[in-house]
Amino acid sequence: MRSRTLTLAAATGAALLAAAALPSYASGPPSVREGSVSAADLLAKVTSCSQLSNGKYRTDEETSATIPVCGKNGAVFWKADMDIDCDGQRTSKCNENTDPWYQDDTAFHQSNGKPLKADSLPYVVVPSSSSIWNYSGAGIKGGGVVAVIYNNKVQYAVVGDTGPTKIIGEASYATAQALGIDPDPETGGTDSGVTYILFKNSQVSPIESHGAAVSLGDQLARQFIRDN
């Protein structure tokens, strides 16, 4: 729920100097795949784009609009960057001190009415509805299941927040960390290589159950492979 500029370019030099002392996230999570469908099998189904959006999105404020929302049987998808969303419940990792753009709420809430926890729940941010694209009109709901693919890893997440109307490519701290992406909300993220597959008319209940997202996600991913 923010509009910001990712500072990857400024951090590149420092990252190169620190390459010999990479933090623990850099090696990624253990080599255990979530669910039974591989990244390669999912990516093989999204090699071409049947554009659904009325125009394209930017990945950051300063970039040009090059990212379309594409349609497949049972899903929509896009290929973009990943900015880090740390919004929601205030924690030691996500707060005003760790994130200059921090907001203490998310568009969708836990079953107890509280905002989501970005540092523990894998969730994805969708662009707020606009003339470019209306996510709800495409069958995408809060709590909907998303397969997030990066570096041959599959991470299941839920639709947990909404973002700017013209920018796409954002996910929670927990999503990034699980995929081996730097989850720092100010300097982390990655500028390319992330595929987001959102399964239509799906909804995890309760939204905060990652186990439920993995279970339903695996089922929907196998159906997606069969239907495309």
Residue 69 belongs to some domain of the structure: yes
**pLDDT for res 24:** 39
**To 10 degrees, the CA torsion angle through 41, 45, 47, 51?**
-150
**91 falls within a domain:** yes
Residue 127 lies in a domain: yes
pLDDT, position 12: 36
Specify the pLDDT at position 162: 98
Q: Report the domain count for the chain.
A: 1
The residue segments making up the domain with residue 94 are: 32-57+64-227
> Is there a domain that residue 22 lies in?
no
Q: What is the predicted pLDDT for the residue at 16?
A: 34
Confidence at residue 15, expressed as pLDDT on a 0 to 100 scale: 37
What CATH number does residue 42 fall under? 2.40.40.10
Tell me, what amino acid is at 179? L
pTM comes to 0.88
Q: Give one word for 217, left, alpha or beta, with left for phi > 0 and alpha for psi -120 to 50.
A: alpha
pLDDT, tens digit (0-9, with 9 covering 90-100), for 31-89: 446 889 999 999 999 999 999 999 999 999 999 999 999 999 999 999 999 999 999 99
Q: pLDDT under 70 in the chain at which residues?
A: 1-33
Rounded to whole angstroms, how far apart are CA atoms 105 and 124? 14
For residue 2, tell me if it sits in a domain: no
**pLDDT computed for residue 101 by the predictor:** 94
CA distances from 103 to 50, 93, 127, 128, 163 (A): 34, 13, 16, 16, 12
For residue 100, being part of any structural domain is answered with yes
7 is a domain residue: no
Q: Does 27 map to a domain?
A: no
